[in-house]
Amino acid sequence: MLQDKNNLSEKEKEQVITLIKEGGIIPKELLYKMAKDDEDVFLFWNGRNEEVTNAVLPFHSIEHIDEPRKEIETLSLLDLDDRGRQKKGWTNKLIWGDNRLVLSSLVNGHLKEEIEKEGGLKLIYIDPPFAVGSDFSIDIKINGDEVTKKPSIIEEIAYRDTWGKGISSYLNMMYERLKLMHDLLAEDGSIYVHCDWRMNSYISIILDNIFGNSNSLNEIIWHYYNIAPSSKRFFAKNHDNIFWYAKNEKKQIFNLENLRIPYEEGSAYAKKGWSKNSKYKPNPEGKLMDDVWRIPTINNMAIERIGYATQKPEALLERIIKASSNKSDLVADFFCGSGTTCAVAEKLGRKWIGVDLGRFAIHITRKRIINVQRELKKENKPYRAFEILNLGKYERKYFLGINTNLSEEEQQKQLELKQEQYVNLILEGYKAKKIKEFKTLHGQKGQRFVFVGPIDFPVTKTIIEDIYKECQEKLITNVDVLGFEFEMGLKPYIEQEMNEAGVNLKLKNIPREVFDRQAVEKGQVKFYDVAYLEIEPILTNNKLQVKLKDFITTFTQDDLTEIEQSLNRGSSKVVIEDGNIIKLTKDKDGILKRETLTKDWKDWIDYWAVDFNYQNKKEIIRVIRNGEEKEEWTGNYIFENEWQTFRTKKNSEIELISMSHTYDKPGRYKIAVRVVDILGQDTLQTIEVNV
């Protein structure tokens, strides 16, 4: 958009003043004249904001994963303990959360120092959603049938509803994130932004605006030639665009010689009879690569295919990572999806950071990286530990407007002032009516009363006992207890004690979506019952195995009545209701048949892992308190994943008894077991054993 550098005329000034006073809309041509930007071209869209968030939230460690190494050849490559697990050095990071807050915390927080110690962030690849139709669902196989795991509401709100105000709202989302990524990149770093035909023109202009036109290095065309044309109205859309920008075009890493490809079959270079006397001789390694990359999409039967609609082939990321980073360099993907960037980076000996908003995306990536660790271990090649992080209670406080840089005491004062606002927010999301004159209970939904748990610490046994006392006093028999976290072992205690005492208590998880106004207003927020996990220790002398005995979930994703009514005759659909995966079939006469596919509780288990000494490693975070940086214990422990089993494409079976763990000395140990079900929901349980 051309900007007229002449000043406004007197008449135009009067017009603008009048419009401002009357609350009118100033014509675009006058806005351009008023703009202070001296460039010939000025990028403008409705709602553009130059400011970016500078929030600094501490990261919580959910899980630390490291496949033990015992090969002598590997021991010299990393500082390892006597179990063959990494002791120190960079730990790769898989972060679950809003990438805007994650990026801001990386740019402004203590992890920036850690990144700079590793030489800085050398490469970013992102494949952001392109449009309203972007698909975040994934197909899961259950006893031969497929069920579609829908994206969480928070994913739909964050990405699909980003388009609610049109392209301008999408540009606002991308502009802020790209600005933060620019700040995070090392001086010799670069970014690859993967786009398609719907958003190319907009994204390229934004990248020019942030990185500068001189730092635009290539527009790479990824030609996926193996897809058959599906339309006769226009040429098949068989390519995507990838924009490559440098932080500083005079310094960026570029390994062109590492990317030679074979000469095309039939060319003079490829023929054996190429003249030895020719001035130009072919390189035996192949020809240099240009900006058109012919890489097929992933074959449906390929081992690397996970089922993610947006999954990209490893060959594509391999070229990018080899081109713009060196071994031990740090690379990142802030829309990591199925984890292709992280997996390829690990295989190529790079350090990495992966971020995604979707819980299931993080789970898929976790399994994928463990598989990579196992493959590298077999080949006696080095690999690094990785940790799963999130922003936890600090993210929730941020959503509520609490200043997390204050001391805990000051934060508590702010929370007390916002307590009513917080409770009202949760009750509205749960569609419950607020009630008064109660000591503990906050609301009522139908015949059930509602308790809203704290925002910053778990619902404990003590809290449950206080609720029970009030229920006895006021003859209440049904209560829903809502919480972000629950004290471990609370569910079986309620089943055994409270329900037998005549009070039907149900524990329900408060979802992150409750802080999103749109999700609440649309009635899309779902509170799911806390799953129940039963485990049994098998102790022989000082050796321990853990047995998975039971898993109960009441997860509901679909409305059966609605689906039954909308199902066409002669068709079927797999749905999820009340902890059961059900196949609905409507025959040609309109008669419905229901078949439960989850025959056993084991069908729900996708992954489980054991920490044989859960209280061995405290979770220490670095926080800023009144302008000073301090280290604090959160009160939690880091889950050290010492053994795990999970379903894969090649093997859908899952073990129910862990490996045997030997303790060095007798004592009382707390064992933690983490289960992730087939829908990505996480359940943690602990038990104590005397060795």
Q: What is the 3-state secondary structure (H, E, C) of 173-231?
A: HHHHHHHHHHHHEEEEEEEEEEECCCCHHHHHHHHHHHHCHHHEEEEEEEECCCCCCCC
| pLDDT per position as a tens digit, 271-294 | 554 555 555 667 777 888 999 999
In the predicted structure, residue 220 carries a pLDDT above the cut 80: yes
Residue type, 675: V
In this structure, of 62-71, 120-129, 459-468, the range with the lowest mean pLDDT score is: 62-71
pLDDT (average), residues 441-466: 94
The DSSP element (H or E) to which 678 belongs, if any, is: none
| pLDDT per position as a tens digit, 600-645 | 899 889 999 999 999 888 888 887 766 677 888 888 899 999 999 9
pLDDT (average), residues 62-78: 71
* Cα gap 166→198, rounded to integer Å: 13
C-alpha pair distances (Å), 589 with each of 42, 72, 562, 594: 63, 68, 19, 15
* Cα gap 95→659, rounded to integer Å: 28
In the predicted structure, residue 595 carries a pLDDT above the cut 90: no
Fold of 60-253+291-390: Rossmann fold (3.40.50)
In the predicted structure, residue 359 carries a pLDDT above the cut 70: yes
SS3 content of the chain, % helix, strand, coil (to 5): 30, 30, 40
The pTM assigned to this predicted structure is: 0.87
Say what the pLDDT of residue 145 is.
55
Residue ranges, comma separated, of all CATH 3.40.50.150 domains in the chain are 60-253+291-390
* Cα gap 678→244, rounded to integer Å: 37
Taking the C-alpha atoms of 630, 176, 331 and 149 in order, what is their torsion angle to the nearest 10 degrees?
100
The model's confidence at residue 266, banded by pLDDT at 50, 70 and 90, is: low
* Cα gap 336→353, rounded to integer Å: 9
Phi, psi of 34, rounded to the nearest 5 degrees: -80, -20
In the predicted structure, residue 343 carries a pLDDT above the cut 80: yes
Strand-pairing partners, residue 123, are 190, 331
| pLDDT per position as a tens digit, 98-141 | 999 999 999 999 899 999 999 999 999 999 876 544 444 555 55
Q: Do 411 and 403 contact (CB within 8 A), yes or no?
A: yes
CATH number belonging to domain 397-529: 3.40.1350
C-beta atoms surrounding 440 within 10 Å? 17
Residue ranges, comma separated, of all CATH 3.40.1350 domains in the chain are 397-529
Phi, psi of 559, rounded to the nearest 5 degrees: -100, 105
| pLDDT per position as a tens digit, 371-421 | 999 999 999 888 999 999 999 888 999 988 888 777 778 888 898 899 999
- When the pLDDT of each residue in the chain is averaged and rounded to a whole number, the result is 85
In the predicted structure, residue 191 carries a pLDDT above the cut 90: yes
